[in-house]
Amino acid sequence: MAVKMDPIHQFELKPLVSFGHIGHQHIAFTQSALYMFLAVGLIALLTIWATKSRAVVPGRAQSLAEIFYEFIGQTVHQSAGHGSERFVPLVFSLFMFVLLLNLFGMIPYAFAVTSHIIVTFMLALVVILTVVIYGFMAHGTHFLGLFVPPGVPGWLKPLIVVIEVVSFISRPISLSVRLFANMLAGHIALKIFAGFVPALLAAGVWGILSPLPLALSVAVTALEMLVAVLQAYVFATLTSIYLSDALHPGH
Amino acid sequence: MNGNDPRGKDGTGEGSSPDDDLSARLKRLEMQIDRKRPPAASDPSSRPDRGQPSSLGIAMRLSTEFVAGVLAGGLLGWGCDHLLGTKPWGLIVLLVMGFAAGIYNVMRVSGFFPAADTKKGPPGS
C-alpha cells in the first residue's frame, strides 16, 4: 500500500477569516498572517515587557533581549561602519521577525511563513527601498556614484554602469530568493525523509530499514534549526552591507 | 560622504544632534571598554567559525547571486520590451547584461576585488 506523500501540501495558505473578493482575488486573513502577528507579538513581548524594569543588572528576560539587540548592533556596526547606529532598529526588527518565523516553521504542524517568496521579497524590498531613499536623502545625486566604480577606463564606463545597475537590482532578488529557497528546500527535504519512515513500515519486510530515514530526519531537523538561525543572521548581515552602500557610496 | 549627514532619515526634525551625540558616546564607551579588555578576545571576526563558512553555504550564496543577476537582467529586459515595444532587443541585451552582472556579483562575493570591497563578502550563507 502506498502512503500518501505530498511534501508541498504544508505550504498551502488556509484562510481563517474571509473578507470577500477584490476582483478575482480572494482577500482573507490566512494562517500565514496569523503567524506573522504571533511573531510580532512575541518580539514585542520580548522587547517591551522584558525590558520594562530597565534594571542595570538585567534579569533573565531582559538580558535575553539585550543579547539579541547588542548582537545585531555589533553586526550592523561591523558591516556598515560609522554612522550606522540609526539603522540598528530596522535591522533588529528584520532579524527578529525572520528568526522567529523561521523557528516557528520548525515546530511540527506549524507553517513556515518565510517559505513563501512574496513574504521574503517584501522584506527585501523594504531593505532596498531604505537604501535607495536614504541614499538619495543623505547624498543626493552623489549616491549614483555607487554605480560608477573607481578606476574604470572611460570607454568601459557605460557598460560597467549598466552592469552595476542590473547587479543592484539583483540584490533584493538574491536576498529574498536565498531565504525563501533555504526554507522551502529544507521543509520539503524534512517532509520527504520523514515520509520514508511510514512508507517503509507499510512495505512489509522493508520495515526493518525504517530506522535509517528516521535517524536521517532527526539529523535534518538539527540542520534545519541551524539553517533557520543562520539565514536570519545572513539576512541581517546582507541588509547591513547594503545599508553601508547608502551610508558611504563610492567607497 | 560622512555618515553623520545632518539630514535625518525621515526628516521629521529628529536631526543630527542626538545621532551625533549617540555616535560620540558609543565611540567613547568603545574606547574605554577596549582599554580594559584583553586584546585576544576583542575581535569577533577572528573567531574560527566566522572565517570559514561551509562549502555548501558558499555554493548556495554564489549560485543565488548568479541566478539573481540573470533574473534581474531578464526582468528588466522583459519590462523594457513591454513598456517601450522594443521586442525582442531589450530582452536580448539586458539578459546578456544580467549574465555579466551575475558573474560580477559572484566575483565580488568571492573576493575577487580585494582592495575595493573589503567590507563585502559576509561569512557565507
Confidence of residue B44 (pLDDT cuts 50, 70, 90): very low
The residue-averaged pLDDT of A99-116 equals 92
Q: Which of A238, A126, A244, A222 is nearest to A179 (CA)?
A: A238
* Residue B45: pLDDT over 80: no
Name every residue whose Cβ is closer than 8 Å to that of residue A25 and which is 6 or more positions away in sequence: none
The residue-averaged pLDDT of A132-158 equals 86
Residue B96 — φ and ψ, nearest 5°? -65, -40
* Residue A69: pLDDT over 80: yes
Q: Cell 528584520 belongs to which residue?
A: A94
* Residue A117: pLDDT over 60: yes
Chain B residues within 8 A (CB-CB) of chain A? 1-5, 7-9, 11, 19, 22-23, 26, 44-45, 57, 60-61, 64-65, 67-69, 71-73, 75-76, 94, 97-98, 100-102, 104-105, 116, 119-120, 122-125
Residues B65-114 pLDDT 10s: 899 999 999 999 999 898 988 878 889 999 999 999 999 889 888 887 76
Q: Residue ranges per domain, chain A? A: 9-247
In the prediction, which pLDDT does B122 show?
43
Name every residue whose Cβ is closer than 8 Å to that of residue A157 and which is 6 or more positions away in sequence: A148
Residues A121-141 pLDDT 10s: 999 999 999 999 999 998 888
- A245: Cα separation from own chain's centroid: 20
